[in-house]
Amino acid sequence: MRTVFRFLFGIPIGFILACFAAAFPLVWPFVPFSLASLEQDPVQIVELAVLFLAQSAQVGSTALLPWALFMVVTEILGWSSLLLHAAAGLIGGFVVTRLAYGGMEPPMSIQTAILLSGLAFALIYWIVAGHGAGRWRRRTGAPDRVES
């Protein structure tokens, strides 16, 4: 039952929360609002929420296939390393930067935001669901021998 819960709820919720976490570094540095203007105009709060949700959806649509492949491999092989997930997030951010901008170099602020987004995605996914990768499998092997 625990395995069913993990695959039906734990992993998808981890993906959704990772999308939210990845949207934050992509949106926040480029928001022109100040805290004082947010208090004066509540419409800007709604605009910020819509911007954040739209960016989360974009992250989710971009990361769905690579994440699914990575998740299947880590689940089957039982790899639950934090370092592996962090490296995968940084590599994913680097690949997105190269694919999105072709041969051109984007500004350093954009590159930093994309790399931090990939790292945030990977770390939040690991915290929610990735640390338990492969635990659902039964371990096969010789039973432990008791020497008398």
> Exposed, middle or buried by CB within 10 Å (0-12, 13-18, 19+), for 108?
exposed
Task: State the Cα–Cα distance between residues 2 and 10, nearest whole angstrom.
Answer: 10
Q: Among residues 3, 11, 5, which one has the least CA distance to residue 129? A: 11
Q: What is the pTM of this model?
A: 0.74
According to the model, what pLDDT value does residue 135 have?
65
According to the model, what pLDDT value does residue 106 have?
85
CB 123 within 8 A of CB 137: no
According to the model, what pLDDT value does residue 107 have?
87
Per-residue pLDDT in tens (0 to 9) along the chain, 148 residues: 666 676 677 778 888 888 899 898 888 887 776 767 767 777 888 888 898 899 999 888 888 888 888 888 887 887 788 899 899 999 988 888 888 888 788 888 888 888 999 999 889 888 887 777 666 666 665 555 655 5
Q: Which residue has the tokens 């669901």?
A: 129
Task: State the Cα–Cα distance between residues 37 and 3, nearest whole angstrom.
Answer: 47
The region, left, alpha or beta by phi > 0 then psi within -120 to 50, assigned to residue 78 is: left
CB 121 within 8 A of CB 63: yes
